[in-house]
Amino acid sequence: MIVILDFGSQYSELIARRIRETQVYSEVLSYRTTAEQLKQLNPKGIIFSGGPSSVYDDRAPECDPEIWHLGIPVLGVCYGMQLMVKQLGGKVLPAQKREYGKASLLIDDPTDLLTNVEDGTTMWMSHGDSCAELPEGFEVLAHTENTPCAAIANYDKKLYGVQFHPEVVHSIGGLALIRNFVYHICDCEPTWTTDAFVEEAIREIRARVGEKRVLLALSGGVDSSTLAFLLHKAIGDQLTCVFIDQGFMRKLEPERLVKLFQEQFHIPVEYVNARDRFLALVAGVTDPEEKRRRIGHEFIQVFEEASKQLGPFDYLAQGTLYPDVIESADTNVDPKTGERVAVKIKSHHNVGGLPKDLRFKLVEPLRKLFKDEVRKVGRSIGLPEEIVQRQPFPGPGLAIRIIGEITAERLDILRDADLIVRQEINRRGIYHDFWQAFAVLLPIRSVGVMGDQRTYAYPIVLRLVSSEDGMTADWSRVPYDILEAISNRIVNEVKGVNRVVLDITSKPPGTIEWE
Ligand code: XMP
């Protein structure tokens, strides 16, 4: 295992993912982790992340200085390197020129850490301070035009520092450098594989659960589907999957999901049809947050009822992923105050999710995985691509894509329009070009003409966006002929719609969903 000590960098998670891409397990821990704790964990190597501070800020995060003497190889990245330099007796000063963006790495020692990294390769820089004087025992491995010490090492102690960010995609030689560190310097073996994960997860589930019964709320997303599969493999019919159909899913999805699980995976699913209940509950409600509140609350009610009826259960399976685990860790610090801050501001709690105080014990076999790793596991166990690569779908579903009041008629209209959007996009093989591609129904009507008839019907909004993580997004530039095909089909085939409009707002200032 490689441990990443997080000094508040937005890239700490990315470093962990890069390490795992080399098939070596990695974990992100707080910069406050002590040498003693690290000794217990016994990692093969440690990476110090970057961070927003200057090492000379009053409250700049510092590591336990004993870490330098553990004999475990360390790679300091950006702030991590500056901290290494400062704590070991060198000097860090504000750089002559703040360096931000791509820089050409000129290599002075092409061995060891920089083996197979091409001279002149591009690396991504983002720093205000620089190393001005090396600590004793260190030498320069590479420089750039503005940064004399861009990569440094103390070979005897296996301490390394890089001023650039090898983890970002713009750093062309970054992965080669990371591989050198992981394989040659830390002597790791490529043991973090999907097969090994599945095997171990199954073993752990069996050990934790024993003969007890487990309940799982299946949603149709990749997380809960993968979870169901793993648990079923581990404990067979001690697992009960419940699928709650609140009536706000996309067209044909509930039926398809249940069929897939029953017939292809031979995993029984308890289908709970709560459509009427939810529809009655949101009747007349127009406020988006009130919709979310009611749906979220009702979901828990229905789930609890189902658990009583089908139970008793001892465990609840949850699809907690590694980023949720890191986010709740004590890692992020404001450089000015030393206070803990959340780097990521979650815009939504999963409304389809469950509260923390249900009286079950939890089993969370995916808690070590990043989303892309869940996809890999899902794929390896035979989940179809439509689930593995499914675009995000909000817990309250179509309820927040019908602006204003939700009625059965409006739901049917939106479902049909939404299906056409998906069909036209799938037909062209461009589903993965979008973070999300969907339809929204507006509660107003406008005049149109069809044949000789005047129409007075709803408009449908096309919302097609690209995004990395849903926190920011851009509207997708879709060729006109595709928009035309979608618009024609919706207006001609969906009764109740006579106009299609395109949302050309990015996030911010818009949001992805309309409610
Ligand atoms: P916004 O609309 O805030 O959405 O730009 C960002 C991402 O979150 C999803 N989203 C939700 N997910 N419950 C969810 O589980 C919700 O209430 C909810 N609202 C928005 C949205 O689809 C997008 O991916």
Q: Tokens 């988006």 label which residue? A: 288
State whether 381 and 490 are in the same domain: no
Is ipTM > 0.90 here?
Answer: yes
**Tokens read off for 118:** 């091409």
- Same domain as 148, residue 57: yes
250, 347, 350, 465: which to mutate for ligand 1, most atoms within 8 A of CB?
A: 347
Q: Are residues 180 and 284 in the same domain?
A: no
Q: At what angle do helices 408-427 and 480-493 cross, to 10 degrees?
A: 140
Rounded to a whole number of angstroms, the distance between the first and last alpha carbons of the chain is 43
Q: What is the CATH number of the domain that holds 106?
A: 3.40.50.880
- Report DSSP letters for 68-101, one per residue: GGS---EEEETHHHHHHHHHTT-EEEEEEEEEEE
Specify whether 127 is located in the same domain as 238.
no
Tell me which amino acid residue 30 is. S
Protein residue whose Cα sits closest to atom 16 of ligand 1: 394
Catalytic annotation, residues: 78, 165, 167
Q: 395 CB under 6 A from ligand 1? A: yes
Q: Are 174 and 167 in contact (CB under 8 A)?
A: yes
End position of a domain, from candidates 165, 185, 205: 185
Averages of pLDDT over runs of 10 residues in the chain (515 residues) are 94 94 96 96 97 89 96 97 96 83 95 96 91 96 94 98 95 96 98 96 96 95 95 96 97 94 94 97 96 93 93 92 72 48 37 60 93 94 90 95 98 98 97 96 97 95 94 95 98 98 96 96
Who contacts 473 (Cβ-Cβ below 8 Å, separation ≥6)? 435, 465, 466, 467, 506, 507, 512
Q: Are residues 211 and 293 in the same domain?
A: yes
CATH (domain of 449): 3.30.300.10
Looking at the domain assignment, is residue 394 inside a domain? no
Which residue has the CA at smallest separation from atom 12 of ligand 1? 394
Strands 151-154 and 159-162: antiparallel
Closest CA to 121 of 140, 106, 111, 142: 106
Predicted confidence at residue 339, as pLDDT, reads 47
Task: Using the mean position of ligand 1's atoms as its centre, give its distance from the Cα of residue 39 in Å.
Answer: 41
- Has residue 509 been placed in a domain? no
- Helices and strands (H and E) in the chain: how many: 14, 19
Q: Are residues 201 and 90 in the same domain?
A: no
Q: Would you state the structure tokens that stand for residue 285, as one six-digit string?
A: 């409600």
How many Å lie between the centroid of ligand 1 and the Cα of residue 471? 9
106 shares its domain with 32: yes
In a domain? residue 370:
yes
Tell me how many domains the chain contains: 3
Whether 394 is in the pocket of ligand 1, judged by its Cβ within 6 Å, is yes
* Residue 278 covered by a domain: yes
Nearest CA owner, ligand 1 atom 7: 470
Residue with CA closest to ligand 1 atom 3: 511
Ligand 1 atom closest to 351 (CA): 13
**What confidence score (pLDDT) does residue 358 get?**
64
Select from 219, 391, 513, 515 the residue to mutate for testing ligand 1; criterion: most ligand atoms less than 8 Å from CB.
513
Residue 510 lies inside a defined structural domain of this protein? no
Atom of ligand 1 nearest to the CA of 391: 24
For residue 355, the model assigns a pLDDT of 61
For residue 82, is it within any domain?
A: yes
Angle, alpha carbons 28-29-30 (nearest 5°): 135
Q: Is residue 467 part of a domain?
A: yes
Decide: pTM greater than 0.90.
no
Residue with tokens 């939404």: 418
461 and 377 assigned to the same domain: no
Task: Return the pLDDT at 349.
Answer: 42
Nearest residue (by CA) to ligand 1, atom 19, is 394
376 shares a domain with 231: yes
Domain boundary among 168, 185, 202: 185
* Residue of 346, 348, 461, 471 best suited for mutating to test ligand 1, as the one with most atoms within 8 Å of CB: 348
Cα–Cα nearest to 445, from 488, 499, 484? 499
Show which of 132, 159, 185 is a domain's final residue: 185
Q: Beta strand pairing status for 361-363 and 474-475?
A: unpaired
| 60/119 same-domain check | yes
Output the domain CATH number for residue 291. Answer: 3.40.50.620
Domain extent for 432: 406-502
| Same domain, residue pair 340 and 202 | yes
Indicate whether 172 belongs to any domain.
Answer: yes
Instruction: Summarize the annotated binding site as residue ranges.
Output: 219-225
Q: Which residues are annotated as a binding site for ATP?
A: 219-225
203 and 165 belong to one structural domain:
no
